[in-house]
Amino acid sequence: MSEMKPVEIYTKEGCPYTRGLKRKLEHDGLSYVTYDVLEDPTQMQEMLALNGQRREVPTIVWPGKGVKVGFHGT
């Protein structure tokens, strides 16, 4: 059995939705990595390519499920 890849989160410092998402992932025992799109222009470009040029965070890459923009605690 292979180890599941971590959830990738494109965010910016202070995003309350990202804080909620991290709490949910930790509660569910899922690993994640975050990329600060304001600190790293390369990550900003990657996020824009993934989510249809939307400058919205969090942009979430769910392994095996695709990309979602936004988190609302569900």
Two structure tokens written together for 71: 């988190």
36 belongs to a structural domain: yes
Confidence of residue 72 (pLDDT cuts 50, 70, 90): confident
For 10-64, how does the pLDDT look when each residue is reduced to its tens digit (9 = 90+)?
A: 999 999 999 999 999 999 999 999 999 999 999 999 999 999 999 999 999 999 8
2 belongs to a structural domain: no
C-beta atoms surrounding 24 within 10 Å = 14
For 50-66, how does the pLDDT look when each residue is reduced to its tens digit (9 = 90+)?
A: 999 999 999 999 998 99
Domain at 22, CATH number: 3.40.30.10
